[in-house]
Amino acid sequence: MQIRDLPHADPGEPDVRSGFRFLVWLFRRQLGGQLKAVLYGTLHMTGVALLPVAAGAAVQAVIDESGRDLALVGVALLGVALLIAGADGALHRAAVTNWITAAARVQQLLARRTAELGGMLTRRVAAGEVVKVSTGDVEKIGWFVESFSRFAGAVLVVGGVCAGLLVYQPELGLVVALGILAVVLPMLPMLPAATRRADAERATSGRATELASDTVAGLRVLRGIGGEELFLSRYRRASQEVRGASVHSARMWALIDAVQVVMRGLLLIAVTWQGSRLALAGDITPGQLVTVYGAAMFLLFPLRIFQEAAMAFVFSRPSARRAVRVLSLRREDGDAAHVPAGDGGPPSLHDPATGLRAAGGLLTAVVCGDPATAERLAARLGGHAPPEEGEQPPPSARLDGRPLDDMPLRVARTTVLVQDKDPVLLSGTLRELLDVPSSGRVEVERALAAAQCADVLDAVARSAPEGGGVMDARVTERGRSLSGGQRQRLALARSLVTDPEVLVLDEPTSAVDSHTEARIARGVRELRAGRTTVVMTSSPLLLDLADAVVLVHEGTARPAGTHRALIASDPEYRAVVTREPDVGPSGAPEAAGTTTPRGPGSAPEPAEESV
């Protein structure tokens, strides 16, 4: 796998049983690249290990006054230098390729899981956590994948050098072998503590990222209520916690570094002392002493790689666990290979949990006293609602009698579209925002007109490039340059352009004034004629234009009726819609002077006037 071949055609199905198993799965998916990097790493380390041998031979040639031997050593050194340069370049290329391809694979897996889960993802994992996993954690996983090849090559060469020293000069070889163990073993008991501190640092960093994301997303609201300083102080505290955790983790690695420096220094002292004794006794030649000392010096280099690999492993394991936490989330789909054809008409939608039924081809308005209940119901109708904490999964909504969970995900998402109460607008041009998969039946201009987006177009037109049209104007991230009502209407236009068979809208006009709301209600009704539409609302202006109105009270849907009939016959419905707290025995308000927020039982004929 080369970088030019990215993205992966198929990132595969990961092993999400544990973080360690996920790392092993990553290695197996790019085994060829890992073996190539290990080969280059071994060649590179072997070349470096040959330098002390050449140095010792050169010293001995000078002592023996042999020009021929010295010339041969020079030629050998040239070959070793070429080997080191070539292997080092190839190793760097292979290792970085492994890093990037592993990181790209993880990011593709995360993107695929995010697309499959949709709105369910952020209900089960915080948005800041997802951002942290897809950025910092992916980098740490790639770091370990890259360092492993160099570590494996270093292990092979260190083993070979120690074995060679034991054969070449047993006494000094034994000192070096024992010294290597003395350098490596003290680090092992400290790794668990370093792992725990790395976990704590990562947890505090994730919370700070989540807080920052939430603050930026709600900055407009914070400014409105004067809450900037409150959230700024919270972020300061979170930032200080991250700093403290980072320092705490760095202290452990500083201790490991200090121990390594001391032990490596003691190893060199022991080799120098023992070698000097043997040289003075005449048991070894000066050239042999230089060779053994140079080999001991060389071994300090792979020992640094051991420490780097240990650090990469410590940081990658918690990152892999967090990636697995996201990748293990599932939307329970059945194994249906196809969807049976319906009767050819617009599909109906049924929620077994509440008994709500939305007839095919009609505009059904649903009134819920609790906004949270309406939000969960809308998500459930789209097949996105996860179970509440400690509760059994809710029964699947049914499309023409077929459970959505038993339908292929692509079919379910194409057939039923849910627009959340707070829809997201991605940054880009207006043309790109409205360029969504659609039936082609609704033109962009008609959708914008139905959603009453004339003032929105005027607002974004100011950012259009010179000579470009309004559709080339850019919409900032999440539409923050627009008001809440403008963002809501632009999102509604996008949903109308999509023109799904079933459209579920959760409070689509909660942020607009009553005159605009009345025109939107008529526009949606006309544009969605013959299509199944469900609107979660308590606005009389929308309710009066609905074909059927259903009240969901205490988790149960009441029989459907018209808005005017329900306002006259159902006191609980009237209390929710008109916000009248006290209802008399006859169902009429007790206080004659009671007023309603948007009008009495029926919607007035809206005036055609601008916002």
Q: For the ranges 99-113, 168-182, 509-523, 553-567, which has the lowest average pLDDT? A: 168-182
Q: How confident is the model over 431-460, as pLDDT tens digits? A: 888 988 888 899 999 999 999 998 888 888
**Structure confidence at residue 564 as a pLDDT band (50, 70, 90):** very high
Mapping DSSP onto H, E and C, the string for 390-402 reads CCCCCCCCEECCE
Q: For the ranges 122-136, 257-271, 543-557, which has the lowest average pLDDT? A: 122-136
Same domain, 313 and 353: no
In-domain check, residue 605:
no
532-536 vs 363-368, strand pairing mode: parallel
Same domain, 162 and 236: yes
pLDDT of amino acid 31: 86
In-domain check, residue 441:
no
By the 10 Å C-beta count (0-12 exposed, 13-18 middle, 19+ buried), 431 is classed as middle
Please state the rounded mean pLDDT for residues 177-189.
79
Same domain, 373 and 299: no
pLDDT of amino acid 542: 92
Q: CATH code at 314? A: 1.20.1560.10
349-351 vs 356-358, strand pairing mode: antiparallel
pLDDT of amino acid 355: 92
CA gap 473, 429 in Å, rounded:
5
pLDDT of amino acid 592: 36
Same domain, 369 and 232: no
Same domain, 190 and 226: yes
Asked whether the predicted pLDDT for residue 393 surpasses 70, the reply is no
Same domain, 300 and 359: no
Instruction: Report yes or no: 515 and 607 within 8 Å, Cβ to Cβ.
Output: yes
Tokens representing residue 523 in the block: 């526009």
Percent of the chain with pLDDT over 90: 18
In-domain check, residue 340:
no
Please state the rounded mean pLDDT for residues 519-523.
94
Please state the rounded mean pLDDT for residues 579-599.
46
**Structure confidence at residue 120 as a pLDDT band (50, 70, 90):** low
Please state the rounded mean pLDDT for residues 22-46.
87
In-domain check, residue 493:
no
> CA distances (Å), 199 to each of 101, 242, 462, 505, in order?
25, 12, 48, 41
| Mean residue pLDDT across the chain | 80
In-domain check, residue 154:
yes
pLDDT of amino acid 258: 85
CA gap 544, 360 in Å, rounded:
19
For tokens 């607009």, the residue is 512
**Structural domain span for residue 361:** 349-387+396-425+500-578
In-domain check, residue 599:
no
Percent of the chain with pLDDT over 70: 84
Same domain, 318 and 367: no
Please state the rounded mean pLDDT for residues 166-188.
79
184 versus 604: which is more confidently predicted?
184
CA gap 467, 438 in Å, rounded:
29
DSSP result, 41-76: HHHHHHHHHHHHHHHHHHHHHHHTT-HHHHHHHHHH
Instruction: Report yes or no: 8 and 104 within 8 Å, Cβ to Cβ.
Output: yes
416-419 vs 502-506, strand pairing mode: parallel
Q: CATH code at 532? A: 3.40.50.300
pLDDT of amino acid 179: 79
SS3 state of residue 192: helix
Same domain, 364 and 406: yes
Asked whether the predicted pLDDT for residue 521 surpasses 90, the reply is yes
> How far, in whole angstroms, is CA 152 from its chain's centroid?
30
Same domain, 381 and 272: no
Same domain, 321 and 356: no
Please state the rounded mean pLDDT for residues 600-605.
40
Please state the rounded mean pLDDT for residues 62-81.
87
Nearest residue to 520 via CA among 547, 554, 486:
486
Angle, nearest 10°, between helix axes 138-168 and 286-327? 150
pLDDT of amino acid 588: 46
Same domain, 308 and 416: no
14 versus 422: which is more confidently predicted?
14
CA gap 303, 310 in Å, rounded:
11
Q: Which residues of 234-253 are buried (b: 16+ CB within 10 A; e: fewer)?
A: eeeebeebbeebbeebeebb
Please state the rounded mean pLDDT for residues 462-487.
78
SS3 state of residue 349: strand
587 versus 114: which is more confidently predicted?
114
Domain count, the chain: 2
In-domain check, residue 468:
no
For tokens 């790019």, the residue is 30
**Structure confidence at residue 547 as a pLDDT band (50, 70, 90):** very high
**Structure confidence at residue 425 as a pLDDT band (50, 70, 90):** confident
Q: For the ranges 73-87, 292-306, 324-338, which has the lowest average pLDDT? A: 324-338
pLDDT of amino acid 585: 43
Please count the CA atoms within 13 angstroms of the CA of 477 that sit on its side-chain side: 5
Please state the rounded mean pLDDT for residues 274-296.
78
In-domain check, residue 70:
yes
Same domain, 323 and 359: no
Please state the rounded mean pLDDT for residues 574-590.
62
Asked whether the predicted pLDDT for residue 164 surpasses 90, the reply is no
Please state the rounded mean pLDDT for residues 207-232.
63
Please state the rounded mean pLDDT for residues 366-388.
81
